[in-house]
């Protein structure tokens, strides 16, 4: 395990393989092990870095003064500086795509390529923002993700019809149930409010390089439906692909398709 102190807190990351650098930024409520299939494949040819969001996995608490996805992007850039990585291909899923787009816009000279997966950089639609904020308030007050809340939250991340007894589903549910009160209140809930209260970035998407940008989305993604990916792809002018048989965590529901798409993209960009 590797750590770097950023804004006073230890950020956990892995750094595996050699070659052109690839940075993986994962989903809210998931740690960097969500990228296991991609890390195994990509690290055969590339230097793969994956990080844990604050309060997730082995990373420390959300640093004081971290109030926006711009802050998260700046902290990820500080990790690249720490590792002396000048240029990187950034692959961000869900909130990883939200801060990834901000990093690409703020430091375009550091980006070889950008893949945004199952994400949306517009504002959260008001009904879902209010709904997610209400769930976060319940978690904050209870100090635990109760079985009733798990029944609501866990299915959001997967395609409809997934076997709820599958190891993927049950493993995610168990990880959420085990989160301690201090971590939930100090990091997970505030990180959720940052994510779902984000500012609108759609008008800046035309600044991204369409030649070095790719969007992917599970064809059955419920929280970030494919029409959002199409909207962003049109604004950027870049290609997009729908991942067959996948929900929000498309890289784990159809890892073979996603890994092949990433390898093809990386081969063109490096």
Region of residue 50 (left: phi > 0; alpha: psi -120 to 50; beta: else): beta
Q: What is the residue-averaged pLDDT of the chain?
A: 98
The DSSP secondary-structure symbol of 29 reads: T
HEC sequence for 112-165: EEEEEECCCCCCCCHHHHHHHHHHHHHHHHHCCCCHHHHHHHHHHCCCCCCCCC
Mean pLDDT of 201-213: 98
Indicate the SS3 state at residue 246. coil
Work out the percent of the chain whose per-residue pLDDT is above 90. 99
d(CA 128, CA 114): 27
Q: Shortest CA distance to 156 belongs to which of 176, 182, 180?
A: 176
d(CA 256, CA 262): 10
Angle, CA of 140, 57 and 94, to the nearest 5°: 75
Q: Is the pLDDT of residue 96 over 90?
A: yes
Q: Is the pLDDT of residue 269 over 70?
A: no
DSSP string, 93-116: ETHHHHHHHHHHHH-GGGEEEEEE
pLDDT at 6: 98
d(CA 207, CA 225): 23
pTM over 0.85: yes
Phi, psi (degrees; rounded to nearest 5) at 62: -55, 120
In this structure, what token pair is assigned to residue 15?
């750094």
**Which helix (H) or strand (E) covers residue 54, if one does?**
none
Give residue-wise pLDDT tens across range 7-64: 999 999 999 999 999 999 999 999 999 999 999 999 999 999 999 999 999 999 999 9
pLDDT at 238: 98
Mean pLDDT of 164-173: 98
CB 180 within 8 A of CB 145: no
pLDDT band, residue 207 (cuts 50/70/90): very high
Domains of the chain, each with CATH number or no CATH = 2-122+199-269 (3.40.50.1820)
Region of residue 197 (left: phi > 0; alpha: psi -120 to 50; beta: else): alpha
CB 198 within 8 A of CB 98: yes
Give residue-wise pLDDT tens across range 117-130: 999 999 999 999 99
pLDDT at 1: 77
Give residue-wise pLDDT tens across range 225-263: 999 999 999 999 999 999 999 999 999 999 999 999 999
């Amino acid at each position: 395990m590797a750590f770097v102190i950023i804004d006073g807190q230890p950020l956990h990351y892995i750094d595996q393989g050699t070659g052109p650098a690839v940075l993986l930024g994962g989903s809210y409520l998931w740690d960097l092990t969500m990228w296991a299939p991609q890390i195994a494949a990509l690290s055969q040819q590339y230097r793969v870095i994956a990080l844990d969001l604050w309060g997730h996995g082995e990373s420390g608490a959300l640093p004081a003064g971290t109030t926006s996805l711009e802050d998260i992007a700046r902290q990820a850039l500080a990790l690249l500086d720490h590792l002396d990585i000048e240029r990187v291909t950034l692959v961000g899923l869900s909130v990883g795509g939200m801060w990834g787009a901000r990093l690409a816009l703020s430091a375009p000279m550091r980006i070889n390529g950008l893949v945004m997966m199952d994400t949306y950089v517009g504002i959260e639609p008001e009904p879902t923002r209010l709904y997610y904020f209400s769930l976060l308030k319940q978690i904050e007050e209870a100090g635990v993700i109760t079985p009733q809340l798990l029944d609501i939250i866990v299915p959001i991340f997967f395609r409809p019809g997934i076997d709820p007894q599958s190891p993927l589903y049950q493993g995610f549910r168990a990880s959420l149930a085990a989160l301690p009160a201090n971590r939930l209140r100090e990091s997970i809930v505030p990180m959720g409010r940052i994510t779902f209260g984000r500012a609108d970035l759609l008008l800046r998407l035309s600044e991204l390089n369409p030649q070095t940008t790719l969007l992917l989305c599970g064809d059955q993604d419920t929280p970030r439906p494919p029409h959002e990916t199409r909207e962003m792809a049109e604004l950027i002018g870049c290609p997009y692909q729908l991942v067959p048989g996948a929900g929000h965590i498309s890289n784990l529901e159809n890892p073979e398709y996603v890994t092949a798409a990433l390898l093809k993209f990386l081969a063109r960009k490096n």
